[in-house]
Amino acid sequence: MAMLIHKHTLKCLVLIAPTVSATVPKPQNARITSVNLHSIFQWDAPRFHKGNISYTVQSKSINLPGNAYKNVSTNLTLTECDVSSLSAYGDYILRVRADSENNHSDWVTVRFKPMDDTVIGPPDLEVKSESGFLHVDFRGPFAEHEHDKWSLKQYYGSWNYRILYWKKRSNTDVTSASGVL
């Protein structure tokens, strides 16, 4: 009788061991690409050959003490997530993990401050030549999210621009002018 219990115990241990070792590798190279406050959280997929993989993205505001992580997106099949809806004035920790069936990877985190981390793109230009004068009009740059478009001037104030120009087929030095937008 004692021998039967011993065999049964070993059989149970063997059945439990494989489920403990099943892990999902974490995403790699997590980064933010942000231009004119249009912000995309991106990462590289881990090498995983044991089924389908999806991703969960969460954010947490550093500005609010005791603030918990909130889901930004779940069940993502792409290796990117648009986080442009986060406040431009915030300071965040973004994190992503890989999910497969009932298993998941460790979190990979990135700190993100939209106002500091976004790249400001060039303004839109309209150039006209009238009666020997060159007219240059600046518009923008603009932040765009979904169907909304607004000037970044409301976030950053005004910019100074310097225009360099010269006459065609001329060996003279470049002439410059500046303007404020």
pLDDT in tens, 109-165: 999 999 999 999 888 888 888 887 878 887 888 888 767 888 888 888 877 777 777
Please report, as a single letter, which amino acid is at residue 146. E
Q: What is the pLDDT of residue 12?
A: 40
33 and 104 fall within a common domain? yes
Residue 21 maps to a domain:
no
34 and 72 fall within a common domain? yes
For residue 23, the tally of other CB atoms under 10 A from its CB is: 13
Q: What is the pLDDT of residue 175?
A: 63
pLDDT in tens, 165-181: 777 777 666 666 665 65
**CATH at 91:** 2.60.40.10
66 and 110 fall within a common domain? yes
Residue 101 maps to a domain:
yes
* pLDDT band with cut points at 50, 70 and 90 for residue 1: very low
- 2 φ, ψ (degrees, to nearest 5): -60, -35
Give the whole-angstrom CA distance, residue 86 versus residue 39.
9
128 and 110 fall within a common domain? no
Our count of domains for the chain comes to: 2
Task: Provide the residue range defining the domain that includes 88.
Answer: 26-117
49 and 113 fall within a common domain? yes
Q: Which of 99, 117, 135 is the last residue of a domain?
A: 117
Q: What is the pLDDT of residue 177?
A: 61
Considering the entire predicted model, what is its pTM?
A: 0.74
Among 21, 24, 18, which residue's Cα sits nearest to residue 99?
24
73 and 134 fall within a common domain? no
113 and 134 fall within a common domain? no
Q: Which of 117, 134, 157 is the last residue of a domain?
A: 117
Residue 48 maps to a domain:
yes
